[in-house]
């Protein structure tokens, strides 16, 4: 069987996902949820979506009665994920939610609970968890080829444009660069080191108080301490171009990826040489694999479930707290 997906939020990333899904073997766009009738029309003709599978934000709870949709993919601004995921779950649909899953751990927990209660699966759009070069580095680390892991460096950033966009609006974004792009270094630190951090320290710096208002971080540097002794040192920013690099160091070897999380192709090498795994469109593999997880109960190498999304939100909460207080924050994930 094929996973039939309704896309919610027909913006830039929603369009990218739907394009990529045209090459999926196991997933198909069968519905849309949007507040803009003209976009719905375009999608209907492009993807052959019947009017009965089209919803807006007021009436989408009715998707409950639609047998053509197995899952809703929430691709709206961050602070709306909470309401959108909980309503999709209550409508009895599996939910895929974009990163960050929510804007804080409290909301994330409520989403996990709502999906458990409704007996539907909750997955987070962590596309790197299916990327071949990333998976090769994880395999090498698991096989002990890097030796004991001691250090990770994650650099995630880009120079953000239009000051009026939702990403720079605390109400919709929930924060700044950390929520949007720094989360790649947070999540990456965890899947590269292979552990969950037990402490966090952080320093925030801001050079443009007009563009980056109160509660919208421009740049945050943070450290994550892991139970095995490894430390991750990471940078998240909205004010440096093309910053996308991971470096993992063990006592016997290293791996570096640059770009590490962009749409690809990912490039990298280890102490053993270049990584040569093929590039596939991330969202195509992601959606085929997620169909396997939802329909067949397949287990991914790195989890992509709500608990995984919630861990990153707990770390984000801790980083903001550490940056604000200047103190080390202990974590229990
Ligand atoms: P976007 O602005 O291009 O699209 C957002 C969509 O949400 C728009 O179509 C907009 O009309 C709609 N929307 C619904 N209610 C809204 C409201 N009240 N206010 C504003 N917009 C509203 O943004 P995007 O880049 O597509 O990002 C959407 C989500 O996808 C974000 O959570 C983002 O973090 C995530 N994302 C993930 C990746 C990835 O690689 N996994 C990449 C880009 C974006």
Report pLDDT digits (tens) over 232-255.
999 999 999 999 999 999 999 999
Cα–Cα distance measured from residue 86 to residue 95, given in angstroms and rounded to the nearest whole number: 9
Q: Ligand 1: which residue has its CA nearest to atom 44?
A: 13
Residue 73 Cα to ligand 1 midpoint, Å, equals 12
Q: Ligand 1: which residue has its CA nearest to atom 26?
A: 13
Question: How does residue 206 score in pLDDT terms, banded at 50, 70 and 90?
Answer: very high
> What's residue 220's pLDDT?
98
Closest to 315 measured CA to CA, from 175, 152, 201, 227: 201
Beta strands in the chain, from DSSP E residues, in sequence order: 3-8, 27-33, 54-55, 71-74, 94-97, 122-124, 149-157, 199-205, 219-225, 231-237, 243-250, 254-257, 268-270, 273-274, 329-330
Give the residue-averaged pLDDT of 200-207. Answer: 98
Give the residue-averaged pLDDT of 173-180. Answer: 98
Phi, psi of 290 (to 5 degrees): -65, -30
> What's residue 312's pLDDT?
98
CATH tag, 3-125? 3.40.50.720
Residue 39 Cα to ligand 1 midpoint, Å, equals 14
Contact 97, 72 (CB under 8 A): no
Ligand 1 atom having least distance to the Cα of 36: 11
pLDDT in tens, 58-77: 999 999 999 999 999 999 99
- Asked if 3-125 and 128-279+303-330 have one fold, the answer is no
Output the six-digit token pair for 25: 């073997």
User: What residue has token string 């990163």?
Assistant: 99
Residue 265 preceded by cis peptide, ω within 30: yes
CA of 121: how far to CAs of 7, 79, 87, 134, 146, in Å?
16, 20, 13, 25, 34
Establish whether 184 is a catalytic residue: yes
Question: How does residue 115 score in pLDDT terms, banded at 50, 70 and 90?
Answer: very high
Give the residue-averaged pLDDT of 139-163. Answer: 98
Cα–Cα distance measured from residue 236 to residue 316, given in angstroms and rounded to the nearest whole number: 11
Cβ–ligand 1 contact at 10 (below 6 Å): yes
Cα–Cα distance measured from residue 183 to residue 175, given in angstroms and rounded to the nearest whole number: 11
pTM: 0.98
Establish whether 99 is a catalytic residue: yes
Mean pLDDT of all residues in the chain?
98
Cβ–ligand 1 contact at 87 (below 6 Å): no
Cβ–ligand 1 contact at 14 (below 6 Å): yes
Which ipTM value was assigned to this complex? 0.99
Cα–Cα distance measured from residue 97 to residue 110, given in angstroms and rounded to the nearest whole number: 14
Give the residue-averaged pLDDT of 31-48. Answer: 98
**What is the percentage of the chain residues whose pLDDT exceeds 90?**
99
Residue 12 Cα to ligand 1 midpoint, Å, equals 7
Domain ranges of the chain: 3-125, 128-279+303-330
> What's residue 328's pLDDT?
98
pLDDT in tens, 256-314: 999 999 998 999 999 999 999 999 999 999 999 999 999 999 999 999 999 999 999 99
> What's residue 315's pLDDT?
99
Architecture (CATH level 2) of domain 128-279+303-330? 2-Layer Sandwich (3.30)
> What's residue 146's pLDDT?
98
**What is the percentage of the chain residues whose pLDDT exceeds 70?**
100
Cβ–ligand 1 contact at 99 (below 6 Å): yes
> What's residue 212's pLDDT?
98
CA of 109: how far to CAs of 168, 183, 215, 311, 319, in Å?
25, 18, 22, 10, 18
Cα–Cα distance measured from residue 157 to residue 178, given in angstroms and rounded to the nearest whole number: 9
Residue 76 Cα to ligand 1 midpoint, Å, equals 4
- Please tell me whether residue 255 adopts helix, strand or coil conformation: strand
The catalytically annotated residue of 28, 99, 133, 311 is 99
Which residues are registered as beta bridge partners of 132?
Answer: none
Closest to 235 measured CA to CA, from 296, 189, 267, 303: 189
Q: Ligand 1: which residue has its CA nearest to atom 1?
A: 11
CA of 184: how far to CAs of 125, 141, 156, 165, 283, in Å?
12, 19, 7, 21, 16
Question: How does residue 324 score in pLDDT terms, banded at 50, 70 and 90?
Answer: very high
Cα–Cα distance measured from residue 151 to residue 249, given in angstroms and rounded to the nearest whole number: 5
Give the residue-averaged pLDDT of 84-103. Answer: 99
């Amino acid at each position: 069987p094929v996973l039939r997906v309704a896309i919610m939020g027909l913006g830039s990333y929603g369009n990218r996902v739907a394009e990529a899904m045209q090459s999926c073997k196991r997933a198909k766009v069968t519905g849309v949820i949007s507040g803009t009738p003209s976009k719905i029309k375009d999608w209907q003709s492009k993807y052959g979506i019947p009017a009965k599978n089209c919803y807006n934000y007021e009436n989408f709870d009715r998707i409950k009665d639609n047998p053509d949709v197995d899952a809703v993919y929430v691709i709206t601004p961050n602070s709306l994920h909470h309401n959108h995921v909980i309503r999709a779950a209550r409508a009895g649909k599996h939910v895929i939610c974009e990163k960050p899953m929510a804007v804080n751990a409290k909301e994330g927990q409520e989403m996990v609970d709502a999906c458990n209660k409704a007996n539907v699966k909750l997955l987070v759009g962590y596309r790197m968890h299916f990327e071949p070069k990333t998976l090769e580095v994880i395999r090498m680390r698991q096989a002990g080829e890097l030796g004991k892991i001691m250090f990770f460096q994650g650099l995630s950033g880009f120079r953000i444009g239009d000051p009026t966009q939702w990403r720079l609006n605390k109400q919709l974004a929930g924060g700044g660069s950390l929520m949007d792009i720094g989360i790649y270094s947070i999540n990456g630190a965890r899947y590269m080191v292979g552990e969950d951090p037990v402490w966090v320290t952080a320093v925030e710096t801001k050079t443009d108080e007009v563009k980056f208002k109160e509660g919208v971080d421009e740049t945050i540097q943070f450290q994550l301490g892991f139970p095995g002794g490894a430390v991750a040192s990471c940078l998240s920013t909205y004010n440096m171009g093309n910053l996308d690099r991971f470096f993992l160091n063990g006592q016997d070897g290293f791996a570096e990826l640059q770009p590490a999380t962009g749409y690809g192709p990912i490039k990298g090498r280890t102490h053993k040489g270049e990584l040569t795994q093929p590039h596939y469109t991330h969202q195509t593999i992601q959606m085929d694999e997620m169909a396997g997880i939802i329909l067949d109960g397949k287990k991914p190498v790195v989890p992509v479930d709500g608990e995984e999304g919630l861990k990153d939100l707990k770390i984000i909460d801790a980083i903001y707290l550490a940056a604000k207080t200047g103190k080390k924050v202990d974590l229990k994930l």
